[in-house]
């Protein structure tokens, strides 16, 4: 299954937001929080069983990364899935905000 970036919606609500993919009554999301002017924390990825193994989570994180890059933001992926995607995509290293004290 290929998910077009245009099929993913971005919802912004002040300091929090999410990227959402909906199909056949199911919904997958990546949530984020803004931490100051230039930093975004990806804090959760939720993919229902109906979408598992279809690249939905990866598509959501990829869309978020593209948007945050365009906005000039750094990303702190606290979500284990998002952190794994950053490890798999060294081309995203310029956006990576390391945790202080680690």
Q: Residue 31's domain is classified under what CATH number? A: 3.40.630.30
Q: Is the pLDDT of residue 61 over 50?
A: yes
Average pLDDT estimate for 55-74: 96
What confidence tens digit (pLDDT) does each residue in 4-30 have?
878 999 999 989 999 999 998 999 999
Residue 54 lies in a domain: yes
Alpha carbon distance 23, 96 (integer Å): 30
Q: Which residue in this structure is represented by tokens 């905000």?
A: 97
At residue 96, what are phi and psi to the nearest 5 degrees? -70, 125
Count how many domains the chain has: 1
Q: What is the predicted pLDDT for the residue at 102?
A: 46
Residue 101 scores a pLDDT above 60: no
Is residue 61 a contact partner of residue 42, using CB atoms and an 8 Å limit?
yes
Decide if 3 is inside a domain.
Answer: no
Return the structure tokens found at 4: 């077009």
Length of the chain: 102
Identify the helix (H) or strand (E) that includes residue 45: strand 39-46
pLDDT-derived band at 1 (thresholds 50, 70, 90) equals: low
Is residue 101 included in any domain, yes or no? no
Task: List the domain range (segments joined by +) for residue 30.
Answer: 8-95
Segment 77-91 shows an average pLDDT of: 96
Tokens linked to 93: 């290293």
């Amino acid at each position: 299954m290929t998910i077009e970036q245009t099929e993913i919606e971005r919802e912004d609500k002040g300091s929090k937001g999410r990227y959402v993919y909906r199909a056949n009554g199911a919904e997958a999301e990546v949530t984020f929080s803004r931490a100051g002017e230039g930093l975004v924390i990806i804090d959760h990825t939720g993919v229902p069983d109906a979408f598992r193994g279809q690249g939905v989570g990866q598509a959501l994180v990829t869309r978020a990364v593209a948007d945050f890059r365009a906005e000039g933001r750094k990303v702190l992926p606290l979500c284990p899935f998002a952190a794994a995607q950053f490890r798999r995509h060294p081309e995203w290293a310029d956006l990576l905000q390391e945790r202080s004290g680690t």
